[in-house]
């Protein structure tokens, strides 16, 4: 994406106007590979690990991490998808996005669940994900993997695996995909 292109934001019908690219697709691929190695190092038995990607931003990162864990760790890891829209504490302050599928393919009882999202900001989406996960069983432990940690936490949530720490101002926006990470602003279309 170059500086003149507009990328559609994931929520609220706002457009994303890129100022600059912070990570290239090669940078993202390298960060994901490092994160996969860290997951393997921290979790001795991948057989007990279940990846759960947040709809929509975490899905492509979850799929790529699943593939990397199979390649590097020689172990297939289950991948689930979770939509946290109706678990958010700001549901009355913003429009509810079109609902996405929640699909958890295995029991989470006594498993290590790794939540995966694209960007960690205030922590409120992760709090919603924790509430949503509680309906699917009681994991032994929940870990958090994010491609970008941009700071500005409003809740005591800290990721276990981070692609890149990218401090931002509250007025800036970040879009993270497998193709790269961009900083810019959001505005009306």
118, 58 contact by CB (below 8 A): yes
Does 92 reside within a domain? yes
Please report whether residue 1 resides in a domain.
Answer: no
Return the pLDDT at 6.
42
Closest alpha carbon to 84 in 133, 127, 129: 129
CATH code for the domain in which residue 15 is found? 3.40.50.2020
Q: Global pTM?
A: 0.88
pLDDT category of residue 17 using cuts at 50, 70 and 90: confident
Write out pLDDT tens, residues 84-134.
987 776 665 655 566 678 999 999 999 999 999 999 999 999 999 999 999
pLDDT of amino acid 11 = 37
User: How many domains is the chain built from?
Assistant: 1
> What is the span of the domain harbouring residue 13?
6-187
Between strands 141-149 and 161-165, the pairing is parallel
Assess if residue 83 is contained within a domain.
yes
Of the two residues 10 and 128, the one the predictor is more confident about is 128
What are the tokens at 181? 């990470």
Report helix, strand or coil for 13: coil
């Amino acid at each position: 994406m170059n500086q003149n292109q507009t990328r559609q934001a994931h929520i609220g019908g706002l457009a994303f106007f890129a100022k600059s690219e912070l990570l290239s697709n090669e940078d993202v691929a390298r960060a994901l590979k490092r994160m996969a190695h860290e997951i393997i190092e921290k979790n001795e038995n991948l057989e007990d690990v279940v990846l759960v990607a947040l709809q929509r931003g975490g899905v492509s990162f979850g799929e790529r991490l699943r593939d990397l864990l199979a390649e590097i760790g020689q172990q297939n890891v289950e991948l689930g998808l979770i939509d946290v829209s109706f678990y958010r504490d700001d549901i009355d302050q913003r429009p509810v996005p079109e609902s996405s599928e929640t699909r958890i393919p295995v029991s989470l009882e006594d498993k290590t669940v790794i939540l995966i999202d694209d960007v960690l900001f205030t922590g409120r989406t992760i709090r919603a994900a924790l509430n949503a996960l509680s309906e699917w069983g009681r994991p032994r432990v929940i870990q958090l993997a994010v491609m970008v940690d941009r700071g500005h936490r409003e809740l005591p949530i800290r990721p276990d695996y981070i692609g890149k720490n990218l401090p931002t101002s509250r007025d800036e926006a970040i879009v993270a995909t497998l193709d790269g990470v961009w900083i810019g602003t959001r505005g009306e279309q």
